[in-house]
Amino acid sequence: MTAVARNNVKIQGQGDHAMIFAHGYGCDQNMWRFITPAFQKDYKVVLFDHVGAGRSDLTAYNRNRYGTLKGYADDVLEICRELELTRVVFVGHSVSAMIGVLAAIAEPDRFDKLVLIGPSPCYINDGDYVGGFSRGDIDGLLDSLDSNYLGWSSAMAPVIMGNPDRPALGEELTNSFCRTDPDIARHFAHVTFLSDNRADLPKVKTPSLILQCSRDVIAPEAVGRYVHQNIVNSQLVVLKATGHCPNLSAPEETIAAMRLFL
């Protein structure tokens, strides 16, 4: 099976260079629908679903391959090779920000720029490092998710989205979580929330934009500043947008920051 088929790759736009969008946990490529039209005139826009999400081929899910974020980064590189993409602008939301970091470290010549939206290299507090959660917090979150995934999704998705005055946003994320295969979602959650990619950040040579939301319960501002401090050629923009999903809650502000960087 090709990576294009496995990951349900869709191509839009007419530019000479590619912009590939990678969605976050519990989501799929549809989460970019407010962002991508702004770039279709200037870029070949490449959308895909991580294996286990959206309309990807669920039979391709392998717990060993996807037992670390490297497996997902390998998928990104396979898509790029099959489509012969070079000078790629990679846009990654949440956990996919670190997936893009790993891909750019592995094949730096393939990537022109990275846009990292709500990135976190490590979710767990460690000494002076503020990840936003204690190990007990993460263990409790994962235990709750393991025991009742649908209940966890209904409770957590609105919290992750933020913007309680716009409940439709939380409902969309809840529905997206609930469409994901529960077994795969549980495994991906463990891989996501227990990952630690802090040591990888100084290896990034690709110019990077870090988009940090205000009042983000998943990736607090201290995390965005840490990523900025540890990726040498990076810019940090703190958005007025709140919550963890500005691609849905504040697409115009997100697009404006991306355009300025690009």
Per-residue pLDDT, 131: 97
Average pLDDT for residues 91-98, to the nearest whole number? 98
Residue 233 has, within 13 A of its CA and on its CB side, a CA count of 11
Active site residue 94: yes
Which among 28, 234, 244, 249 is annotated as catalytic?
Answer: 244
Tokens of 191: 């891989």
Which among 49, 74, 75, 216 is annotated as catalytic?
Answer: 216
Q: What is the CATH number of the domain that holds 141?
A: 3.40.50.1820
Domain count, the chain: 1
Higher pLDDT, 181 or 104: 104
Which among 56, 94, 120, 249 is annotated as catalytic?
Answer: 94
Prediction pTM value = 0.96
Containing domain of residue 172, as a range?
3-261
Active site residue 244: yes
Per-residue pLDDT, 239: 97
pLDDT digits (tens, 9 = 90+) for 173-195: 999 988 888 999 999 999 999 99
pLDDT of 16 > 90? The answer is no
> Are 47 and 21 within 8 A, CB to CB?
yes
